[in-house]
Amino acid sequence: MAKRKLAGPKKPAAKPQTSAQSTGNQQGSKLANVKGRAPRLLINDEDEDNEDEDEDGYIDDEAEEAEEDELEDESDLEEYDGEDGISEQFEGLLDGAISDSESEDNAGDEASEGDGEENNAGEEGIFFGEDVENEEHEDVAEVITNSVSDDDEEAEYLSKYSAASEAESLSSISSDQDDSMVAYYTTGADGKPRPIYHEIDPHYSSDDSDLEDMNTIGNVPLSAYDEYPHIGYDINGKRIMRPATGSALDSLLDSIEVPEGWTGLIDKESGADLKLTKDELELVKKIQLGENAGDVNPYESTIEWFSSKTEIMPLSAAPEPKRRFVPSRHEAKRIIKIVKAIREGRIVPNKPKVRPEDEQPVYDLWADDLQEQQPHVMHIPAPKVAKPTNDESYNPPEEYLPSEEEITAWNETDAMDRERDYLPRKFSSLRTVPRYENFVRERFERSLDLYLAPRVRKNKLNIDPDSLLPKLPSPQDLRPFPIKCSVTYRGHKGRVRAVSIDSSGLWLATGGDDGTVRIWEVLTGREIWKATVGDDDEAVQSVEWSPVKDSGILAASAGEKIFLCLPPIFDDETEVTGQELLAAGWGYAAQPAPVEHINKERQCNWIKPSTKLASQGVDVVIVCRKTVKQIAWHRRGDYFTGVSPDGANMAVLVHQISKHNTQSPFRKSKGIIQRAQFHPFKPMLYVATQRYVRIYDLSTQSLTKALQPGARWLSSFDIHPQGDNVITGSYDKRVTWHDLDLSTKPYRTLRYHTRAVRDVRFHTRLPLFCSGSDDGYINVFHGTVYDDLLRNPLLVPLKVLKGHTVVQSLGVLKVAWHPKEAWLFSVGADGTAKLWTS
Amino acid sequence: MSVEGARDGVSSGLSDTTGQIMITLTTLDKAFAVPEVPLYVPLSLKRYGLSEVVNHLLATERPIPFDFLINSELLRTSLQEYITQKGLSSEQTLALEYTRSILPPTFLASYSHPDWVSSVDVIEVPSSNAKAAPILSGCYDGIVRTWNLSGSVVSEFGGHTGPVKSVRWLDENKVVSASMDRSIRIWKVPVADDQGDEDMAHVLGSNGPQTVVSARTFTGHKSTVEDIAVNAATSRMLSAGADSAVGLWTTNYKEAPPATVSVSTREMSGKRRRKTVVPSRGPISMMGSHTGPVTGVIFDPKDGTVGYSVSLDHTIKTWDLVTGELVDTRTTAFPLLSITALPELSLLCSGSSARHVTLHDPRAAADATTTTTLVGHTSFVVSLSKSPESDYMFSSASHDGTVRVWDVRAQKSMYVISRESKTADKAKVFGVHWSKTVGIVSGGEDKRVQINRGTGLEVVNQQD
């Protein structure tokens, strides 16, 4: 396309020559012609544009570019016109040979100078013919006047030159076509000038073969006029005179016969003159020009094998492909994509074009670049390096320079232990600062760091901490629970170690280090009864009321003895009942021991108390081998256990009151046993060692379960009145709640105490439990156990009861709940017992 | 002085106060009536200032203290605070009712005992009787004592084998005592000039206290008798037992049914206890409906056939003593320890272990009425005694070592009587009795009976 346009510039390039030769009258018409041409060119352009759009889809910009190219080509052509002569001179011998060979074809002797003019004229003629053809072919309506004037011009022009040069020009048109086709010469790959031809306008009017011959002689050979001075006749019947044939010298030179095919070269093989045929010369010429040596026309016209025209006999009878008439799916997909993009706003149709200067973003050099960037989701910026400080300067102030000691200390310390990995150094100028010697190592380490320790995006949990806390009911809603110390029972000397409240809730029994068991009136705090049972100030370790109502039996242990007392505070009926219960076993004890125990020593001896003890209310004394630390009654009141941790396999003994009998349930030692307790209603025995709480089924005599509170040393445990939950207290400050249905591990571990937990206790009626600790505090908790097995127990800390003073790092030693009320009894190392009421 | 003059005097004397309010003064006591003319008084006035105003209007020679009620509620704050608290405007007229005030009881005397004093009672005798020993005290040493106003023991009643828990005057010549030894005993008070009484009294010495060891013994409770109430009109006694039973007894020993065969007659180890087989009589009936120890019992002051009892099982029970049946049960939130009645208001005051006094209407129709709670004590409220002079007032004894005087029209206690003896930081008070002639008598853990009395009343009485 762009090359085709190059045909255009020929016309203005040739114009000055024609205008120079034409008369003034002609000049005016020429000018008019030029004036008229401008719109035609425009029209031409437009037509071409239309074509372009139809065929190739080029757009306006490229057409404009082509116009610009046009202008450039004009100047090129002018240069070429100047150079043309030079290049001809330059060519020398071969050129001359070629032109001679051409001139031989021509009938007349022609001057070489005339060739140019003739050529020009011919070209002009071609030009005009072309012009006319173009105009006629194209837009007739607009240029009709121009074409008329052009026709006139042509007639005048032809008449003017017909006499002198018509024949020449006619004959030379074909022969000089090669030359006229060469636009200019360039240096070829072989260093020789290589002709660049004009682009050929493949328009049919460019072919002048159908130009009407200027036949002046009719159908007579031209040689017939050789002997006449004229060569033909013009349209008016007048003779067309033969042009002059040059001077005599030229004739002479012409007469010197140059043998045909003379080259001036000598054939090396034969020694004769090398003669080239015409075809050979043509070939050499083509080779010289770097053209295709074969007989190939590079500019053959295109045969439109396949065109829009429906041929009668088409080359291919293949049916029309489907894609011609079926809508393209691919295109439909693309359109859907585009529509989607438009809907989503990714493509904005008719968006004003952003100018390049607008596209150029403006950067704030001083802004923190990290903040403005919208980082990729997975992009984690590397942590910023700390900004250099004064001592990292190449020229730090003097005070930053290390002293000698510091330098030596720095050198002696391990690289890992250094506070900083450089020593401040001073340089006179930046130019003297050496290369950073750690560069490679540092880069390597940083890369290694990035590779081995990839940074991980950690999502911050944006959760309100309060929402994570369990929704516990307010303690206000869980009343009653003990909140205040109402009664203090004073009287014991030394620590009070044991406490028990009788089933009516009126009589509180305590035992202490002073070896006494005391009974108090609960409401008033009045000491009602006292018995000194411990020999030699042996501490009363445990005091427990019998669960049997109206029996009034109080079991107390001091040292290795267990005392069963009947405090004289009850009515006669109760007292007699108790006496009968205790006395019933004397007869059994007198009987011989069963056979299997006959060789063994009896674990315990049931003896009658001394007179002194009997006067104090003690009815039975059981002498064990080791110190009995704890007593626990069976719910029926006939059995009770005594725990002596040092007793090895006899650490837990089960005593039976009705028969005055003692059994040892374990053959082997189970470790240091802390507590033992009967299940509230099942035939089970819970035994706490230092680490575990073991549950034995007494009916099958097997271990049912072993709870692992996770404590190092359990101090106490208690069984929920429903039997399915156990709380333990340990010397390592923990209280654990075990749900036997859940696991052997604690359901909840409560760490509220700051010192060892001494005792834990469930309320028998209310959902309360408490723990007493060596920090002198009692923590009261709410603990609801639901009948619904799916619901876990609800534990709510309710109250910290502060009142006991810590004596010798011992605080609260034992606690007991009132049988009915939410009242709590506690005894402590401060020698008092306290009643905490709601 | 005219009312206008008084108004001028009041307004001129107290003109520096910020705001004033219009009040009207009324009283039920005709002796102190003032004209019902609205007055402007400063908002900053309290009871004392208002009392001054009334005294000014009355032009009394000696100032008489008054208490002021607004809408049957005692004014315990300044008028400003009152209207702020009630959300009233100072432009409204306040209707103030005034009554003679009970003066703060001052300490009169304290009588020392060898052990804790568990209970006190006072019999109203004419003050002219110098020989009278109106004060009765029960002690934890098991001895009941009568005291005259000069502070000396007149007679001692020894016979209980356990601490005496409750004592009451049966009449001028008889006292009844209940003890932890589960027995109730009626003692005849020896009269100095009546030494010839055949079997009741033994005068051991004329200069020392007369010691009485013989008594009519009533047994039937299986545990401590915590409280006892007497009704002279019907010759009935009510006892509160820690065995959850309420006993109804007759004071007439000869009419009393025989006691059930006591197990003490069976063989027991004689070494352990003194065998004093006392002839005893039993109760008319033992009413066992409580599920916890009964701690207090009273007769209805107006009707001797109705009794009330309170228990640690949180209930107040009403008993029909004729049939011995339970009439009504009121359940509260806390264990109850003491009870007394305000007959004019048809209210029962009960002291609880939760450190407050609750007011209940025992009438059956008043089921829905809300109970009032008086808060102030810091420990168990174990004894209550109605004021002999005011229908609205009573005193309460608590284990926190104080006796408080309450007016049911005020939410706070009127006065707090603390123990004079400084022996212990916390000396529990176990019993209180408010006598018209003697004053507020209380006994407690400090082994003393303490008498407090508002002295101002005598002046007024004399003036009347």
A173: pLDDT strictly greater than 60:
no
| Span A642-651, pLDDT tens digits | 998 888 888 8
Give the residue-averaged pLDDT of A131-155. 45
pLDDT-wise least confident of B31-40, B239-248, B354-363, B445-454: B31-40
- Residue A246: band (very low, low, confident or very high) from pLDDT cuts 50, 70, 90: low
Tell me whether residues B380 and A486 touch, CB distance under 8 A: yes
Of B268, B293, B353, which has the smallest distance from its Cβ to A837's Cβ?
B353
**What pLDDT is recorded for position B30?**
78
**What pLDDT is recorded for position B370?**
62
Structure tokens, A709: 């509170």
CA distance A569 to A527: 11
A257 to each of A254, A262, A272, A278, how far by Cα in Å?
Answer: 7, 10, 17, 17
| Span A433-450, pLDDT tens digits | 998 888 999 899 888 988
Give the residue-averaged pLDDT of A698-723. 91
- Residue A343: band (very low, low, confident or very high) from pLDDT cuts 50, 70, 90: very high
Give the residue-averaged pLDDT of A475-481. 88
| Span A772-813, pLDDT tens digits | 999 999 999 999 988 888 888 889 999 999 999 999 999 999
Strand-pair category, A777-784 with A768-773 = antiparallel
- Residue A591: band (very low, low, confident or very high) from pLDDT cuts 50, 70, 90: low
Three-class SS of A398-455: HHHCCCHHHHHHHHHCCCCCCCCCCCCCCCCCHHHCCCCCCHHHHHHHHHHHHHHCCC
What residues of B are in contact with residue A505 (Cβ under 8 Å)? 292-293, 312
B393 burial level (CB within 10 Å; 0-12, 13-18, 19+): buried
Residue with the two structure tokens 């590779």: A451
Distance from CA of A653 to the nearest CA of B (A): 31
Structure tokens, B432: 């209180």
Tell me whether residues A570 and B428 touch, CB distance under 8 A: no
Distance from CA of A612 to the nearest CA of B (A): 10
pLDDT-wise least confident of A48-57, A684-693, B401-410: A48-57
Of B272, B335, B428, which has the smallest distance from its Cβ to A615's Cβ?
B272
A778 burial level (CB within 10 Å; 0-12, 13-18, 19+): buried
A81: pLDDT strictly greater than 80:
no
- How far from chain centre, in Å, is Cα A267? 83
**What pLDDT is recorded for position B368?**
56
Give the residue-averaged pLDDT of A552-572. 88
Could you give the 3-state DSSP secondary structure of residue A330?
helix
**What pLDDT is recorded for position B258?**
83
Give the residue-averaged pLDDT of A181-209. 69
**Cα angle for residues B347, B353, B237 (degrees, 5° grid):** 55
Residues β-bridged to residue A816: A825
Domain with CATH 2.130.10.10 in chain B: 106-463
Query: A182 touching B, CB under 8 A?
Result: no
Closest residue of A to B337, CA-based? Answer: A523
Domain with CATH 3.10.20.90 in chain B: 3-100
Tell me whether residues B354 and A820 touch, CB distance under 8 A: no
Query: Best of A478, A479, A484, A506 to disrupt the B interface by mutation (most B CBs within 10 Å)?
Result: A506
**What pLDDT is recorded for position A205?**
57
Tell me whether residues B222 and A576 touch, CB distance under 8 A: no
Which is more confidently placed, B82 or B12?
Answer: B82
**What pLDDT is recorded for position B304?**
87
**What pLDDT is recorded for position A718?**
94
Distance from CA of A571 to the nearest CA of B (A): 5
Q: What is the DSSP string of B69-123?
A: EETTEE--S-HHHHHHHHT--TTSEEEEEEEEPPPPPEEEEEEE-SS-EEEEEE-
- What's the whole-number average pLDDT of chain A? 75
Distance from CA of A831 to the nearest CA of B (A): 17
B248 burial level (CB within 10 Å; 0-12, 13-18, 19+): buried
What residues of A are in contact with residue B263 (Cβ under 8 Å)? 571-573, 575-576
Q: Is B142 left (phi over 0), alpha (psi -120 to 50) or beta?
A: left
Tell me whether residues B337 and A523 touch, CB distance under 8 A: yes
Share of chain A above pLDDT 90, in %: 26
Give A 549-588 residues with CB within 8 A of chain B: 568-576
Query: B312 touching A, CB under 8 A?
Result: yes
Query: Which domains are seen in chain A, by residue range?
Result: 2-214 (no CATH), 257-294 (no CATH), 475-837 (2.130.10.10)
Do residues A172 and A116 make contact, with C-beta atoms less than 8 angstroms apart?
A: no
Query: Best of B381, B428, B429, B447 to disrupt the A interface by mutation (most A CBs within 10 Å)?
Result: B428
CATH match of B106-463 with 2.130.10.10: yes
B259: pLDDT strictly greater than 90:
no
| Span B71-117, pLDDT tens digits | 878 887 888 888 888 888 878 888 888 887 777 788 888 888 898 99
- Residue A168: band (very low, low, confident or very high) from pLDDT cuts 50, 70, 90: very low
B322: pLDDT strictly greater than 70:
yes
Which is more confidently placed, B275 or B367?
Answer: B367
CA distance B261 to B220: 10
CA distance B414 to B405: 5
**What pLDDT is recorded for position A451?**
85
Task: Return the number of CB contacts < 8 Å for A and B.
Answer: 81
Give the residue-averaged pLDDT of B378-398. 90
Tell me whether residues A571 and B242 touch, CB distance under 8 A: no
Q: To the nearest 10°, report the CA torsion of B405, B406, B407, B409.
A: 160
Could you give the 3-state DSSP secondary structure of residue A42?
helix
**What pLDDT is recorded for position A290?**
82
**What pLDDT is recorded for position A602?**
67
Expressed in angstroms, the distance from the first to the final Cα of chain A is: 109
Structure tokens, B176: 């009844």
Tell me whether residues B266 and A821 touch, CB distance under 8 A: no
Nearest by Cα to B134 from B446, B404, B436: B436
pLDDT-wise least confident of A172-181, A487-496, A607-616: A172-181
- Residue A14: band (very low, low, confident or very high) from pLDDT cuts 50, 70, 90: very low
Give the residue-averaged pLDDT of A419-441. 89
What residues of B are in contact with residue A820 (Cβ under 8 Å)? 292, 312-313
B391: pLDDT strictly greater than 80:
yes
| Span A600-615, pLDDT tens digits | 556 788 888 888 888 8
Tell me whether residues B222 and A574 touch, CB distance under 8 A: yes
B366: pLDDT strictly greater than 90:
no
Highest-pLDDT range among B26-40, B297-311, B358-372? B297-311
Of A568, A569, A820, which has the smallest distance from its Cβ to B292's Cβ?
A820
Distance from CA of B167 to the nearest CA of A (A): 17
Residue with the two structure tokens 């168990």: B380
B68 burial level (CB within 10 Å; 0-12, 13-18, 19+): buried
Tell me whether residues B242 and A575 touch, CB distance under 8 A: no
Nearest by Cα to A78 from A21, A5, A14: A14
Residue with the two structure tokens 């000397």: A493
Biggest alpha carbon distance in chain A?
193
| Span A253-301, pLDDT tens digits | 767 777 666 777 777 767 777 777 888 888 888 888 887 777 777 788 8
Tell me whether residues B333 and A523 touch, CB distance under 8 A: no
Closest residue of B to A569, CA-based? Answer: B181
Which is more confidently placed, A126 or B350?
Answer: B350
B124 to each of A29, A76, B206, how far by Cα in Å?
Answer: 162, 151, 25
CB burial string B359-375: b at 16+ within 10 A, e below:
bbbbeeeeeeeeebebe
Give A 796-835 residues with CB within 8 A of chain B: 820-821
Structure tokens, A736: 């654990």
**Cβ-Cβ contacts under 8 Å for A130 (sequence gap 6 or more):** A203, A205, A206
Of A488, A571, A615, which has the smallest distance from its Cβ to B182's Cβ?
A571
Tell me whether residues B222 and A820 touch, CB distance under 8 A: no
Query: A528 touching B, CB under 8 A?
Result: yes
Tell me whether residues A614 and B269 touch, CB distance under 8 A: yes
Closest residue of B to A573, CA-based? Answer: B263
Which is more confidently placed, A722 or A164?
Answer: A722
Tell me whether residues B430 and A524 touch, CB distance under 8 A: yes
Nearest by Cα to A246 from A120, A103, A122: A103
Expressed in angstroms, the distance from the first to the final Cα of chain B is: 21
Could you give the 3-state DSSP secondary structure of residue A626?
coil
Phi, then psi, of A154 in degrees rounded to 5 = -60, -45
H-type alpha helices, B166-270: none
Query: Best of A478, A483, A486 to disrupt the B interface by mutation (most B CBs within 10 Å)?
Result: A486
| Span A725-774, pLDDT tens digits | 999 999 999 999 999 888 889 999 999 999 999 999 999 999 999 999 99
**What pLDDT is recorded for position B209?**
75
Do residues A753 and A771 make contact, with C-beta atoms less than 8 angstroms apart?
A: yes
**Cβ-Cβ contacts under 8 Å for A484 (sequence gap 6 or more):** A836, A837, A838, B355, B378
Give A 451-470 residues with CB within 8 A of chain B: none
Highest-pLDDT range among A97-111, A124-138, A184-198, A625-639? A625-639
B122 to each of A90, B170, B174, B181, how far by Cα in Å?
Answer: 163, 11, 12, 24
Query: Best of A523, A820, A824, A835 to disrupt the B interface by mutation (most B CBs within 10 Å)?
Result: A523
Give the residue-averaged pLDDT of A554-576. 88
**What pLDDT is recorded for position A550?**
79
Distance from CA of A574 to the nearest CA of B (A): 9
**What pLDDT is recorded for position B274?**
47
Which is more confidently placed, A557 or B103?
Answer: A557
Give A 722-741 residues with CB within 8 A of chain B: none
Query: Best of A479, A484, A526 to disrupt the B interface by mutation (most B CBs within 10 Å)?
Result: A526
Query: B275 touching A, CB under 8 A?
Result: no
Of B293, B353, B378, which has the smallest distance from its Cβ to A506's Cβ?
B293
Tell me whether residues A614 and B271 touch, CB distance under 8 A: yes
Distance from CA of B158 to the nearest CA of A (A): 18
Tell me whether residues B312 and A615 touch, CB distance under 8 A: no
Give the residue-averaged pLDDT of B131-146. 88
Tell me which amino acid residue A123 is.
E
Nearest by Cα to A783 from A834, A721, A829: A721
CATH match of B3-100 with 3.40.1360.10: no
Query: A619 touching B, CB under 8 A?
Result: no
Which is more confidently placed, A226 or A73?
Answer: A226
